[in-house]
Structure 1
């Protein structure tokens, strides 16, 4: 009888330890889920209002520009897809997106961090074109639609030649990847 009582007491104690451990793990998991949900809900879409945009000419590869978006807001922001670009004030259509440059994940910019898009301005196979003095930039939202108002940037050297095969990459987390395309 004593052995049975001792065995029952040990089993009960072990069960209580297991139950307490599972409860603690559940509380920790719930806390981590709440923290992740809070963090995810505090991330906004990058727009012209919460980023600073610059465009620079690069020496290599030729006929390329580098577009840089720096988060100036107080919350992290998502740089979705690729920017909508309007080369020149009279452009009738946006610059094409280079589909091959799609990154593995959406670029998230913490305050002060930057995303980059490479812009191929022209190729020998392209048709028509002209020297443009401005570049209109509009960010994309989660669904790939244009967000808010356009930000107009002055192009370097008083203007850059664009032709029919101009293209822009998706947002990348570093300049080197943006200029591979």
Structure 2
């Protein structure tokens, strides 16, 4: 009877120990790897954000439409404005909104006429033979024969506005060939004249030059040689 009681106590102790170990394993955080994770508010928000990003990616790939073909409402996009084109250097906008056309040897006819009065003067006339209004900036750049220097302009003749010639109109410039009192030096007779045109900036090229005819006997010039600015009216240089 005593031995039977001892065995019962031993069996009972073994069962109690097993139950205690099971309880400790559960309380210590041991879990089955296959068990599902509990859902928390943070996890739910993360899952919703991931779903929204995937949906937006899908909408972008399908042209912004849902599976049933309805357009998707879009958020506002940055305002796309075209950038202003820079103005080209050395050009100017005319009254009609187009670029200025320069008068030169390609769209004008140029003549050079010796004058009886005043003495020792030459009149250069430029006529616009093109189909557009053209402009004559500054003054003509003259070259007699193979001369190596450029006659200077009389600044007192500079007009208030650039000379503008409509088709068929003419502009003018006067040339003092030699001094009337003989004070000039290095005089010679020239038989060829080249008239150069300036661009919208001083001393820049305005296009092809012109070679107006001179009298058969040529023209005499010396170091007094100078020229006026281009003029809209002949009267502006009549007494120069």
- TM-score class, shorter-chain normalisation, is 0.7 to 0.9
Aligned pair 1:102/2:158, yes or no?
A: yes
Alignment correspondent of 2:168:
112
Are the equivalent residues in 2 in contact too, given 1:66–1:179 (CA < 8 A)? no
Aligned pair 1:175/2:234, yes or no?
A: yes
Post-superposition Cα deviations, 1:100-142, rounded to whole Å, max 9, x if no partner, equal 1101110100000000000000102211120100110011111
Q: CA deviation at 1:156?
A: 2.0
CA distance in 2, matches of 1:170, 1:38: 23
Match among 192, 195, 207 for residue 137 of structure 1 = 195
Alignment correspondent of 1:76:
133
CA distance in 2, matches of 1:40, 1:122: 44
Question: Counterpart of 2:197 in 1: which secondary structure?
Answer: strand
Unaligned runs of 5+ in 2: 1-92
Are the equivalent residues in 1 in contact too, given 2:163–2:171 (CA < 8 A)? yes
| Structure with the larger strand share | 1
Alignment correspondent of 1:163:
222
Post-superposition Cα deviations, 1:70-119, rounded to whole Å, max 9, x if no partner, equal 0011110011100100012x110122211111011101000000000000
Question: Counterpart of 1:41 in 2: which secondary structure?
Answer: coil
Q: Which has the larger radius of gyration?
A: 2
Q: CA deviation at 1:157?
A: 4.3
Measured at CA, do residues 91 and 172 of structure 1 come closer, stay the same or move farther in structure 2, by a change above 3 Å?
same
Question: Counterpart of 1:54 in 2: which secondary structure?
Answer: strand
Q: Mapping of 1:2-151 within 5 angstroms?
A: 39-41=96-98, 43-88=100-145, 90-123=146-179, 124-144=182-202, 145-151=204-210
Aligned residues: 145
Post-superposition Cα deviations, 1:128-178, rounded to whole Å, max 9, x if no partner, equal 120100110011111122322332222124200010110110000122323
Normalised by the length of structure 2, the TM-score is 0.57
CA distance in 2, matches of 1:100, 1:40: 32
Q: CA RMSD in A?
A: 1.7
Q: Which has the higher contact order (CA 8 A, sep 6+)?
A: 1
| Structure with the larger helix share | 1
Unaligned runs of 5+ in 1: 1-35
